[in-house]
Amino acid sequence: MSIFSRRNKAVHAVLEPEDDSDLPPRMRFPRGVFAALETDPPEAADAAYAAFARNALTPVVAEREIFHIFNGCGMSNPALESNEMFQYDFQRETTDNGRLRVIVRWLVTQQHAHEANLQTLRLFEKGGTVRRVTVLPGCCPACDKLAKKRFRLGSTPVLPVEGCRRHGGCICAWVPALD
Ligand SMILES: [Zn+2]
């Protein structure tokens, strides 16, 4: 590679239109549950997402770290708070620690499901052989309705399913729809 081509590359990078790189990493998934998180102090939300990302393969470790980050924090999350199954879990807890554990568990499992399913769709797009996707039945009655439908890549609804009735949260995942 010549010096010029390297320089060109650098210039090109500067001229590239701005992408999402100025946003905190959690905002790169605007439909994920971490994007809806507001904390007091504000930086706790980003720190929690960093712990989530760092421990993507070991969600139990992520939950433990995030629990410590959130201890003593104020927080709100409209996406979680409007989820009836989350409310059910949350209201069953009688201690602050118990309620915080529920929040953390839901944040981690829902975000994980969201990102994993986006990743699946990306892989299908790259592979080029899958044209339509569906979810398998068995999550909950609400999601079973979704399982009867097929979606073209690029026009899929968001997972986890809003309005899912499964205890502990939606476990729907994209699979290729076989014609
Ligand atoms: Zn469901």
Domain ranges of the chain: 30-176
Closest CA to 155 of 129, 131, 137, 119: 131
Distance (angstroms) between ligand 1 centre and the Cα of 164 equals 4
3-state secondary structure (DSSP) of residue 16: coil
Handedness of CA 163, 169, 175, 178 (dihedral sign): negative
Structure tokens that stand for 82 in this block: 């409007």
- Single-letter amino acid code for the residue at 70: F
Distance (angstroms) between ligand 1 centre and the Cα of 40 equals 31
Model pLDDT for residues 59-92, shown as the tens digit of each residue:
999 999 999 999 999 999 999 999 999 999 999 9
Model pLDDT for residues 107-160, shown as the tens digit of each residue:
999 999 999 999 999 999 999 999 999 999 999 999 999 999 999 999 999 999
Distance (angstroms) between ligand 1 centre and the Cα of 118 equals 17
Q: What is the pTM of this model?
A: 0.86
